Amino acid sequence: MSASSGMSFREQIALQLGKPFFKLDSPHPQPFYHYTQGNWESIEHVSEINGNDTHHPPTDGKISKIRLTTWNIDFQADYTKERMAGALGHLSHLHEPLTNTKTKDDTPPAVIFLQEMLNPDIEQIKQEQWVRDNFFITDVSDHKWESFYGTTTLIDKRLEVERVFRVPYGSSRMQRGALFVDVKIGGEEVPQILRLCNTHLESLISNPPRRPVQLKCASEFMHGSGPSSTDVHLPSPYASILAGDLNAFAPEDQTAAGECGLNDAFLVLGGKDGTDESFTWGQQASDQERWRFGCSRMDRILFCGAVEVLSFCRIGEGLRVTVNDEDFGEDIVWVTDHLGLQADFKIIM
């Protein structure tokens, strides 16, 4: 009898990858990390940070705005290191006001969601000085991912992180899940939670559809404490924002957000589906993929509760990097096949 006899598919994958198996559709707390004294150190709450370290929440503890960026960096394409360096350079440029001491106070705290990360990508992120100086990160390795690729989140050090947890989707055959970060808003007098969800939903077509089920699971943690069957008690959030690669190209994807009680930031600000301005995938895919699948609005930002979207834009459009191939010499390649998104939100207190 094999060692995997009687195991579920997900348990077998975890065994093959040498990773722990997590209960599905349930929250699994994890630490996050801050850079101090030359190392990325694990912490469970910002209260553990030494007073000499660079953690500067607002003096009144209140957060009125937040800037969210989400981007999928294709893990399958060649030249991973060069493309990730290009992506990080672009993100650094976009967040330059945050890294400048003269403009930082006038810039909303920022959170960056990344999907399709590989372990070498995490190593590159950890080496970036602008990240070390300004952000917490949720991962320093691939240990908390079910697969060999996964999601990671960068959190502005001005935000007070209450908890980080992951929810692996029970309906996924691709080891997909949601990465949540709770940040404290409202100050000491009226403390509230803003819940941020970085997710990568199932790819391709499935029957029955899997993505609406996965989004429904995530939305239960956005509206409340999650399904009643979960073992971990979580507070209900004051407001929630979800973003990532939702692989939203099928008919069922167009109604899923509304069915989950979530607002679509692009549509709220007057955007129209099916327009060139809406597409986040296809323009930078290979000719063969674009011919087969067309262009679509795969990446989205959804929200609920007492937040208002103020602005919304795509990022990374037309971004390429120069690479050197041993066989073909110098070449220019896309950083990734996805455009990213960036939105500013106002928290209504």
Mean pLDDT of the chain: 93
What integer is the mean pLDDT of 263-285?
98
Count the domains in the chain: 1
Whether 93 is covered by a domain: the verdict is: yes
Whether 17 is covered by a domain: the verdict is: no
pLDDT band, very low/low/confident/very high, at 73 (cuts 50, 70, 90): very high
**Is pLDDT of 2 > 50?**
no
* pLDDT of 1: 39
**Is pLDDT of 215 > 90?**
yes
In which domain, by residue range, is 198 found? 25-347
Whether 13 is covered by a domain: the verdict is: no
CA distance 343 to 348: 16
What integer is the mean pLDDT of 107-121?
98
* pLDDT of 59: 53
Whether 260 is covered by a domain: the verdict is: yes
What integer is the mean pLDDT of 188-214?
94
DSSP letter at 202 equals P
**Is pLDDT of 52 > 60?**
no
Residue 103 sits in a domain whose CATH number is 3.60.10.10
Residues in the chain: 349
Strands (DSSP E) contained in the chain are 28-30, 32-36, 39-43, 65-72, 110-117, 135-137, 150-156, 160-168, 177-185, 192-200, 239-245, 263-264, 299-305, 307-315, 320-325, 329-334, 340-347
Scanning the structure block, which residue is given the tokens 């008690």?
A: 233
What pTM was estimated for this model as a whole? 0.94
* pLDDT of 51: 62
Structure tokens given for 55: 């953690």
Whether 125 is covered by a domain: the verdict is: yes
In single-letter form, the type of residue at position 128 comes to E
Task: Please answer whether residues 206 and 60 qualify as being in contact, where contact means their C-beta atoms are separated by less than 8 angstroms.
Answer: no
What integer is the mean pLDDT of 132-151?
97
Task: Please answer whether residues 303 and 241 qualify as being in contact, where contact means their C-beta atoms are separated by less than 8 angstroms.
Answer: yes
Whether 242 is covered by a domain: the verdict is: yes
Residue 126's nearest CA partner among 157, 152, 145, 101 is 152
**CB within 8 Å of 211: residues ≥ 6 apart:** 201, 202, 246, 247, 248, 250, 252, 253, 256
Whether 53 is covered by a domain: the verdict is: yes
Integer CA distances (angstroms), 22 to 19, 30, 63, 122, in order: 9, 12, 33, 22
Whether 4 is covered by a domain: the verdict is: no
* pLDDT of 54: 62
Lowest mean pLDDT among 3-12, 141-150, 304-313: 3-12
In single-letter form, the type of residue at position 214 comes to Q
Summarize pLDDT for 118-136 with one digit per residue, the tens.
999 999 999 999 999 999 9
Task: Please answer whether residues 185 and 177 qualify as being in contact, where contact means their C-beta atoms are separated by less than 8 angstroms.
Answer: no
**Is pLDDT of 58 > 80?**
no
CA distance 153 to 164: 10
Q: Most distant CA pair in the chain: distance in Å?
A: 66
